[in-house]
Structure 1
Amino acid sequence: MSDSATVAPDPATEDAGTGGARILLEGVTKRYGPKDDPAVDDVTMEIAAGDIVMLVGPSGCGKTTTMKMINRLIEPTSGRILIGDDDVTRRNPDELRRHIGYVIQGAGLFPHLTVGDNIAIVPRLLKWDKKRIAARIDELLDMVNLDPAQYRDRYPRELSGGQQQRVGVARALAADPPVLLMDEPFGAVDPITRQRLQDELLRLQDELRKTIVFVTHDFDEAVKLGDKIAILDKGSKIVQYDTPEEILANPANDFVRGFVGHGAALKQLTLTRVRDVELNEAAVAHVGGDAAEAVRAAEAIGRQHVIVLDDQERPQRWLSVDELRAPDALRDVPRDEGVEVVSLASTLNDALDSMLTSSHGVVVVTGRRNAYQGVIRVETIMDAMADLRGAPAREVS
């Protein structure tokens, strides 16, 4: 979508899918009382269509207030906010919010509604027909890597925190909005789940190219996810607004240096993505395939384990050569949630973390719709680290 995109989708192209739209904040101020200091003070900021922009800063700096004024959950005192060429401060706020996705910490799902009904809330408000809504529910659950048949009719209490957060993202995407607002969405989950949700967001963004405004207190998360980072001080004063690479290499002042913290050079490793290095191949089999052929293929390249894929090329589990010799070894291969997987958008730090808990010495790499792309080995990561340091790679025995 071009920079002149509007918030409301064009009915003639509603089914085609919507990319991102430019956001412009122009002199935006928020005061809660006429004598109060501004919570947000004269912010001007442009966000390019299809970018993820991270709002980072200390508590009380106004980053969440700034974000909430975009969908008018908080009304600006003055200034203009444009999405595309549409001034949202002149829109009906309820109608506006139906075309802006919103994800909060803890997902915010309605506990009395099923997963499917939670996702369907906005499409029903937009009066989509039942067949279209049902298809969209299943499409989105598949997109966030939840089997529709397994999860569509469950209630939020039956899901883990990470699964609830995935449903929250699916709900925000239900009406295919050009803009997605995310308010510390992964802050309440454990570190491993957090990493997986971050990877999932990057994978979705590679496919959907929404404009995402993401509030976080975690600078490492900002470096990993952001196309640009806005570092804010009190009153939402933008101290530096630039790419992660530029902020790490050239912090604007002592405040930014203090916020980035020690180890800026190490943080450079989070800027190298799995897609930037050459992947390795593993021995591969498919559910329902010929187990004997899979054994021969593994032995031909000196492997003792095979990664089994389903009919959509999604990794299911590792099986040893001995397990493949059992009768009907590939007839029914359920998914092992413990398989260590990273996406092409994951960082090398993420891959290394996953590798440390893997019993296979490699980590499986997936792309769009979680389709298998290859594996990454520790030698590859060490070579990339050596390149960043400008030193020769160390040999791995």
Structure 2
Amino acid sequence: MPDRSATQTAPSPGSLASGGEGVSGAAIDLVGVTKAYPGQGAPAVDSISLQVPAGEIVMLVGPSGCGKTTTLKMINRLIEPTSGTITIGGRDVLSLDGDELRREIGYVIQAGGLFPHMSVAKNVGIVPGMLGWDRRRIAERTDELLELVGLDPRRYRDRFPRELSGGQQQRVGVARALAADPPVLLMDEPFGAVDPITRQRLQDELLSIQDELHKTIVCVTHDFDEAVKLGDRIVVLGEGARVVQYDTPAEVLSHPADSFVGDFVGSGAALKALTLVRVDDLDGLEQTTTARVGEPVADVAARARAAQDAAAVVLDDRNRPLRWVWVRQLEEEGERVGDRADDLPTVGRRSTLNDALDAMLGSSYGGVVVTGRRDGYEGVLFVQTAIEAVQTSRRRESREATPVAGNDDDTARALEDTRPVEEGAA
């Protein structure tokens, strides 16, 4: 069982204590926790013991019916345990009033679980309102959190859930869960109801938020790739929530505890290992010519020619990328850079190399735009840098002689076939 990663401070009366300096999350300990239902031969959860370090993301994976969601719901007592102890930040949750406990724990479910008759702002502010915050403080917190999850408050605070896409609803659900600044965030299949592209963006958003807030997050998922991408640690559960393996994603991938875990890892483990490499880990994030909305196109073209760039990234007034466009196309559009936005694929600094490769394969510019906090432009990751990272990963695996399925060389060859449509493209 892993040790806790942060020194715990003494809990204050009636609250859940957070971790040490720089960590706003709190450690969670489950000791011998069991949930048995009358009339059933075996417990749904049979004496699970688990330590979740403060400020980390721990992913619960396992087959349907193994007790993942039951375990999650016992942490905030949506389901009452039959026996055992659960502590958060050193405080026994069974000693707290259930409603008060849940106001101190964020909870995110599929499709956000928003109240349809309430605006976005009222959905986000519901828990602070229950805690007695004044209107001004709630409004400020709501706008802050909408910014954090990538939604412009001016555009979205007064909308209703029916006016939002599935991905936007899920972002509001995350904002609502964070509204009262809880030390713990519980997530039950949070991205399972959205399309793959939106799911990737929401995953990246969660990692970006976690970089900023350092909450303790426990997340249930059926998607092992998602567990590898998001988790600091992965819990593979068997029937009755038996802990089969609890370790880092790298260890679960390279050293499955048994054939049961190996089946979850599945084939193509070498390609899954690309999920362990973040854009942040790569040396080679480059700068290309950028253009601001309203700027004279002639100035942009002059900078691009000087830098030998054939394309430029257009940024809005908040430094967010709107599109990546050929300079000659900008010159044909008018004298000043317009504010038109394309469906521009981007990846965050905490995105995986696997996500970056997917985005590059659909790009005609030979790379992908990288964003940082609050979706601000950071630079560009080009194909050659990704190829070198794949080859380095492959050489490392060969040195370690770890048997894996799949072949990263195939990925490298596929990428080498990706060429910018226009000669000299950025």
TM-score grouping bracket, smaller chain normalisation: over 0.9
Matched AA of 1:302: Q
Residue number in structure 2 paired with 1:329:
336
Residue number in structure 2 paired with 1:136:
141
2:106 match: secondary structure = strand
Q: CA deviation at 1:354?
A: 1.1
Whole-angstrom distance in 2 between the partners of 1:259 and 1:314:
38
Q: Is the 8 A contact 2:23 2:54 kept in 1?
A: no
* Alignment partner of 1:174 is 2:179: yes
Task: Pick which of 52-61 and 272-281 moved more.
Answer: 272-281
Residue number in structure 2 paired with 1:89:
94
Residue number in structure 2 paired with 1:62:
67
1:186 match: secondary structure = coil
Whole-angstrom distance in 2 between the partners of 1:9 and 1:205:
25
Residue number in structure 2 paired with 1:282:
288
Whole-angstrom distance in 2 between the partners of 1:163 and 1:80:
37
Q: CA deviation at 1:17?
A: 10
Task: Pick which of 278-287 and 111-120 moved more.
Answer: 278-287
Q: Is the 8 A contact 2:349 2:370 kept in 1?
A: yes
Q: Is the 8 A contact 2:295 2:336 kept in 1?
A: no
1:109 match: secondary structure = coil
* Alignment partner of 1:37 is 2:45: no
Q: CA deviation at 1:162?
A: 0.6
Residue number in structure 2 paired with 1:233:
238
Q: Is the 8 A contact 2:32 2:84 kept in 1?
A: yes
Matched AA of 2:216: T
Whole-angstrom distance in 1 between the partners of 2:38 and 2:12:
30
Structure 1 gaps, min length 5: none
Whole-angstrom distance in 2 between the partners of 1:108 and 1:309:
33
Whole-angstrom distance in 2 between the partners of 1:287 and 1:6:
50
* Alignment partner of 1:74 is 2:97: no
Residue number in structure 2 paired with 1:295:
301
Task: Pick which of 150-159 and 301-310 moved more.
Answer: 301-310
Residue number in structure 2 paired with 1:223:
228
Residue number in structure 1 paired with 2:320:
314
Deviations 1:61-96 (A, max 9, x none): 001100100000000011111110111111100001
Matched AA of 1:38: P
Whole-angstrom distance in 2 between the partners of 1:21 and 1:83:
6
Q: CA deviation at 1:380?
A: 1.1
Whole-angstrom distance in 1 between the partners of 2:23 and 2:116:
29
2:244 match: secondary structure = strand
Residue number in structure 2 paired with 1:304:
310
CA gap 1:5/1:369 in 2 versus in 1, 3 angstroms: farther
1:221 match: secondary structure = helix
1:55 match: secondary structure = strand
Residue number in structure 2 paired with 1:27:
32
From 377, 384, 392, give the equivalent of 2:389.
Answer: 384
2:380 match: secondary structure = strand
- Give the number of equivalent residue pairs: 392
Matched AA of 1:56: V
2:42 match: secondary structure = coil
CA gap 1:82/1:156 in 2 versus in 1, 3 angstroms: same
Whole-angstrom distance in 1 between the partners of 2:336 and 2:276:
40
Q: Is the 8 A contact 2:23 2:55 kept in 1?
A: no
**Structure 1 runs of 4+ off > 4 angstroms?**
5-11, 391-397
Task: Pick which of 87-96 and 305-314 moved more.
Answer: 305-314
Whole-angstrom distance in 2 between the partners of 1:36 and 1:174:
41
2:229 match: secondary structure = helix
Q: Is the 8 A contact 1:18 1:176 kept in 2?
A: no
Q: Is the 8 A contact 1:23 1:49 kept in 2?
A: yes
Matches within 5 A, 1:193-272: 193-272=198-277
Whole-angstrom distance in 1 between the partners of 2:177 and 2:39:
35
Residue number in structure 2 paired with 1:364:
369
1:289 match: secondary structure = coil
CA gap 1:240/1:137 in 2 versus in 1, 3 angstroms: same
Whole-angstrom distance in 2 between the partners of 1:5 and 1:355:
48
Whole-angstrom distance in 2 between the partners of 1:328 and 1:116:
39
Q: Is the 8 A contact 1:56 1:219 kept in 2?
A: yes
Matched AA of 1:249: S
Q: CA deviation at 1:365?
A: 0.4
1:187 match: secondary structure = coil
CA gap 1:69/1:36 in 2 versus in 1, 3 angstroms: same
Deviations 1:348-396 (A, max 9, x none): 1101111122232221101111121111111111111101111998794
Q: Is the 8 A contact 1:109 1:118 kept in 2?
A: yes
Residue number in structure 2 paired with 1:160:
165
RMSD, aligned α-carbons = 2.3
Matched AA of 1:376: L
Matched AA of 2:336: A
Q: CA deviation at 1:312?
A: 2.7
Matched AA of 1:113: M
1:46 match: secondary structure = strand
Q: Is the 8 A contact 1:54 1:214 kept in 2?
A: yes
Q: CA deviation at 1:290?
A: 4.2
* Alignment partner of 1:106 is 2:111: yes
Whole-angstrom distance in 2 between the partners of 1:167 and 1:141:
7
Task: Pick which of 151-160 and 258-267 moved more.
Answer: 258-267
Matched AA of 1:151: Y
* Alignment partner of 1:126 is 2:124: no
Whole-angstrom distance in 2 between the partners of 1:149 and 1:364:
26
1:81 match: secondary structure = strand
Q: CA deviation at 1:286?
A: 2.1
Work out the percentage of aligned pairs sharing the same amino acid: 60
Whole-angstrom distance in 1 between the partners of 2:273 and 2:194:
25
Residue number in structure 2 paired with 1:116:
121
Q: CA deviation at 1:320?
A: 3.0
